[in-house]
Amino acid sequence: MTFFLDQLKLGSLDAPRRDQHVVGPQRQCFVSLQILFAASFVALVAAILAQQPASALAPANRGVRVMSTSIAMPDGVLLAATLYMPADLRPRERVPALLEYLPYRKDDDTASGDYGKHAYFARHGYVGVRVDIRGFGASGGTPPTREYSAQEQEDGEHVIAWLARQPWSNGNVGMFGISWGGFNAIQMAMRHPPALKAILAIEATEALFKEDVHYMDGVMHVDEFEVSMDLDQGRSGAPDFPLDEDTLARRMDSTPWSLDYFRHQRDGAFWRAPIHPFEDIRIPCFLIGGFQDGYRDSIPRMLERVPAPVHALLGPWNHDYPNTSIYGPRVEWRDQAIRWFDHWLKGIDNGAEREPRLVVYQQRSHPPGAAAQDIPGEWRAESWPPANLSALTWFLAPNHQLTAAPAAVATDHLRYVPSAGTEAGFWWGELLTDQRPVDAYSLTYDSAPLETEVSMLGFAHVRLLATADAPLANWFVRLEDVADDGRVTAVTGAGLAGAQRRSMEHPEPLTPGTEYVLDLDLHLSSWVWPRGHRIRVAISNAQWPMLWPTPYPMTTALRLGGAEGSAITLPVVPAHGRAAPAFGPLEAVEVPPGITTPGDYAWPGSWKLERDEANERSTVTWHGTSAVRFPWGAFEHSERLVYHVDDANPAVSAVEGDAESIEMLSHDVLTYRGHLAVTSDATTFHYAYTRELLRNGAVVRTRTWQEVIPRDLQ
């Protein structure tokens, strides 16, 4: 392997950076990894890589030259960039750039994962480019006031233009990334920077209010992302971790983003500011999503609405890359990315634009369980909407039945249990355990054992005729597979805030006792129920702790029966479709040597539920840890969230979150801590966040934000 390291001199935060390679996850900041780099490690990397046999390399091996630089913005702020270049790049050769643009600290948190992607692209004739957004990692400036800010996007345009001007560039830039990197790839495509010619967005969405991690289905959500991201705003850049007053003031004193998110509890200008219509996208888009990921719904929208070429790959994966997901079958994606960009950035006629618009995994029934596993099913090539699609309606009927024909009119009642929902997951992704515990707090409707298999692909649609005796109520619908032994597997689900029944931008309270027609689409899924299984629809008014409980004790009712009664319509397709093109073999993912990770990443961690039945109070505690060991030191990170709810008085709910990042350097131990506390009553959220930095146990800086925020129909 050819491996070059340029610009290794240590410097200040805004100086050109040296190359740094670290183990780190590719999730939306689900874990923070800090690594101190030194010249001794660079020598170790070069020595070990020089000894690797050629047989371990990908067939297209042009070698890799890694160099660090900085990109000046119009206001003088320098953004830190790492370039992964073909080592054999000839003086007159011109190649495209592939940009990944994130706040996740390229020189420590993501350096190892960055190498596995960008070095692959470099060997195939691209310059892979990893840039920290301003105020994060090695980049200068102050963190923006929010994610996907106008500042981030304007800087991104300047980065793209800079890449197109470089002497090695052919003038064409592609953009790619997972989660945040997919979000801003879509957003930049909407803005039309001239040199941006194609994107690859992995597990991303444009629906920032409805589908991102702050308000899922429009209902307030708090998880470890808020805790870890608010802490990361305060961390200074690796490997120097400067503690001068300017750095501390810019980072440690920057307002936590979560505070602004809690202030904006309805859709509107705040959430839509980073987004333009899909119809504005003029460049080709390759999309990758997973049925166990919370951002999958954007793929059909883009297939339907983007006027430029759109192709998509939709598999059984969680919030991870297709080649590393804990749920399989895994497939290689980097070779498909090369094929896509070769066509659109290099002009190679390789047939990429003639591939099926959608390659999708048709999941088949399997037992419940969250452990890593391969999901049964088959790949199929599809159009969108799918070929031979038909609608199959099932009616909610008396005696908890799900019938193919309307039944007699009846009403079912459900007492609201605010603590229900833990077993239904922490977001609309990941595989889940048996759903019978959460179904016990739900209205459930089962079909008779199926005489033939039923295959679904798309968005199931639900119509509820619902009543509540309180002014605020939420409804959650879960679609499930009941096996003949009684085990229940989650298929998909979704929620609807009653106040947002007409509009997420203009919510209005319910009138107690009034019946409302509630329409909602469940999140995108594929599934095959086999003969003998039952289709189940489960309906509840809580999905805690995923979503914040409504404040009033209540009872809700569903009207059943009749042609216009409560029902679910499944998007049914043939169980077998057109064969998909064969995937290439999985290829090794290289990481820099000399680094070990003795633990897992913080997410998904572990959780426990404790119920105080006598006092009707429940607590969920979630905990995650990670650690890294390397030749020159160590890093340890931990996160903890504790959720509280009172079934008798759900207005009084709370969450407390703690994150701690410890940097064990050769000369210091730096401890970054963040503590989030959010409590509620019937009318108010009480917010408090503290960010703290200790050096060798002594407090260097601490800052606290507190605010009373009116509850806006949440």
What's the pLDDT tens digit per position in 483-541? Answer: 999 999 999 999 999 999 999 999 999 999 999 999 999 999 999 999 999 999 999 99
pLDDT bucket at 10, cuts 50 / 70 / 90: very low
Query: Residue 368: what are its φ and ψ, rounded to 5°?
Result: -65, 155
What's the longest Cα–Cα distance across the chain? 79
Q: At a CB cut-off of 8 Å and minimum separation 6, what does 459 contact?
A: 297, 300, 521, 522, 523, 524, 571
The pLDDT score that the predictor gives to residue 50 is 36
pLDDT bucket at 599, cuts 50 / 70 / 90: low
**Residue range 49-66: mean pLDDT, rounded:** 56
What is the tens place of the pLDDT at every residue in 267-295?
999 999 999 999 999 999 999 999 999 99
3-class DSSP state of 259:
helix
Q: At a CB cut-off of 8 Å and minimum separation 6, what does 87 contact?
A: 2, 3, 4, 62, 63, 64, 65, 122
Short-list 254, 213, 214, 247, CA closest to 233: 254
pLDDT bucket at 628, cuts 50 / 70 / 90: confident
Query: Residue 226: what are its φ and ψ, rounded to 5°?
Result: -60, -45
User: Is the confidence at residue 30, as pLDDT, over 70?
Assistant: no
The pLDDT score that the predictor gives to residue 701 is 98
What is the tens place of the pLDDT at every residue in 422-472?
999 999 988 999 999 999 999 999 999 999 999 999 999 999 999 999 999
User: Is the confidence at residue 45, as pLDDT, over 60?
Assistant: no
Q: At a CB cut-off of 8 Å and minimum separation 6, what does 667 contact?
A: none
The pLDDT score that the predictor gives to residue 33 is 30
User: Is the confidence at residue 135, as pLDDT, over 50?
Assistant: yes
Find out whether 457 and 386 touch, Cβ atoms under 8 Å: yes
Chain centroid, CA 714 distance in Å: 23
Short-list 606, 556, 566, CA closest to 417: 556
Element (H, E) at 159: helix 150-165
Radius of gyration of the chain (CA): 26
Query: Which token pair is 582?
Result: 């064969």
649-669: burial string, b at 16+ Cβ within 10 Å, e else: bbbbbebbbbbbbbbbbeeee
Q: What is the CATH number of domain 390-572?
A: 2.60.120.260
Length of the chain measured in residues: 714
Distance between CA atoms of 587 and 18, rounded to whole angstroms?
Answer: 28
pLDDT bucket at 592, cuts 50 / 70 / 90: confident
For the chain, percent of residues with pLDDT exceeding 90: 84
Q: Where are the domains of the chain?
A: 3-209+218-286, 390-572, 606-710
**Residue range 155-159: mean pLDDT, rounded:** 98
Distance between CA atoms of 526 and 473, rounded to whole angstroms?
Answer: 29
What is the tens place of the pLDDT at every residue in 337-348?
999 999 999 999
Distance between CA atoms of 411 and 398, rounded to whole angstroms?
Answer: 8
The pLDDT score that the predictor gives to residue 54 is 29
> What is the DSSP-derived secondary structure letter of residue 562?
S
Query: Which token pair is 603?
Result: 């997410």
pLDDT bucket at 46, cuts 50 / 70 / 90: very low
**Residue range 625-636: mean pLDDT, rounded:** 79
Phi-psi region of 111 (alpha: psi -120 to 50; beta: other; left: phi over 0): alpha
The pLDDT score that the predictor gives to residue 112 is 81
Q: Residue 712, exposed/middle/buried by CB under 10 A (0-12, 13-18, 19+)?
A: middle
Residue position matching structure tokens 């759109």: 310
The pLDDT score that the predictor gives to residue 631 is 72
Find out whether 550 and 510 touch, Cβ atoms under 8 Å: no
Residue 326: Cβ within 10 Å count: 17
Distance between CA atoms of 404 and 447, rounded to whole angstroms?
Answer: 8
**Residue range 390-418: mean pLDDT, rounded:** 97
Residue 265: Cβ within 10 Å count: 22
Short-list 188, 228, 73, CA closest to 141: 73
User: Is the confidence at residue 55, as pLDDT, over 50?
Assistant: no
The pLDDT score that the predictor gives to residue 429 is 87
Distance between CA atoms of 169 and 195, rounded to whole angstroms?
Answer: 11
Beta strands in 498-616 (DSSP E): 516-521, 525-529, 534-540, 555-560, 567-572, 578-579, 606-612
The pLDDT score that the predictor gives to residue 634 is 80
Query: Which token pair is 354?
Result: 């003639």
Find out whether 476 and 448 touch, Cβ atoms under 8 Å: no
pLDDT-wise least confident of 53-67, 653-667, 697-711: 53-67
Report CA dihedral (476, 479, 485, 486) to the nearest 10 degrees: 20
Residue position matching structure tokens 């033939």: 452
Question: Edge-to-edge strand order for the sheet containing 578-579?
Answer: 3-5, 64-72, 78-86, 127-132, 95-102, 169-178, 196-202, 285-290, 310-315, 358-363, 377-382, 578-579
Residue position matching structure tokens 């989030």: 676
Q: Which CATH architecture has domain 3-209+218-286?
A: 3-Layer(aba) Sandwich (3.40)
**What are the residues facing 675 on neighbouring strands?**
658, 690
Find out whether 590 and 14 touch, Cβ atoms under 8 Å: no
What is the tens place of the pLDDT at every residue in 173-227?
999 999 999 999 999 999 999 999 999 999 999 999 999 999 999 999 999 999 9
Q: Residue 304, exposed/middle/buried by CB under 10 A (0-12, 13-18, 19+)?
A: exposed
For the chain, percent of residues with pLDDT exceeding 70: 90
Query: Which token pair is 148?
Result: 């996907």
Short-list 109, 584, 83, 30, CA closest to 322: 584
pLDDT bucket at 240, cuts 50 / 70 / 90: confident
Residue 72: Cβ within 10 Å count: 13
pLDDT-wise least confident of 107-116, 195-204, 595-604: 595-604
**Residue range 301-328: mean pLDDT, rounded:** 97
Give the C-alpha distances (Å, rounded to integers) separating 680 from 255, 569, 648, 662.
Answer: 21, 37, 14, 31
The pLDDT score that the predictor gives to residue 629 is 76
Higher per-residue confidence, 252 vs 631: 252
User: Is the confidence at residue 61, as pLDDT, over 80?
Assistant: yes
Q: Tell me the average pLDDT of the chain.
A: 91
pTM of the model: 0.92
Angle between helices 111-123 and 334-346 (to 10 degrees): 50
Phi-psi region of 256 (alpha: psi -120 to 50; beta: other; left: phi over 0): beta
Higher per-residue confidence, 47 vs 437: 437
The pLDDT score that the predictor gives to residue 17 is 27
pLDDT bucket at 598, cuts 50 / 70 / 90: confident
Distance between CA atoms of 153 and 130, rounded to whole angstroms?
Answer: 15
The pLDDT score that the predictor gives to residue 596 is 72
What is the tens place of the pLDDT at every residue in 543-564?
999 999 999 999 999 999 998 8
Distance between CA atoms of 376 and 381, rounded to whole angstroms?
Answer: 17
The pLDDT score that the predictor gives to residue 20 is 29
Distance between CA atoms of 260 and 130, rounded to whole angstroms?
Answer: 28
> What is the DSSP-derived secondary structure letter of residue 584?
P
**Residue range 297-302: mean pLDDT, rounded:** 98
User: Is the confidence at residue 143, as pLDDT, over 60?
Assistant: yes
Hey, CA dihedral for 200, 206, 210, 212, is it positive or negative?
positive
The pLDDT score that the predictor gives to residue 3 is 35
Short-list 122, 150, 300, CA closest to 211: 300
User: Is the confidence at residue 320, as pLDDT, over 70?
Assistant: yes
User: Is the confidence at residue 48, as pLDDT, over 60?
Assistant: no
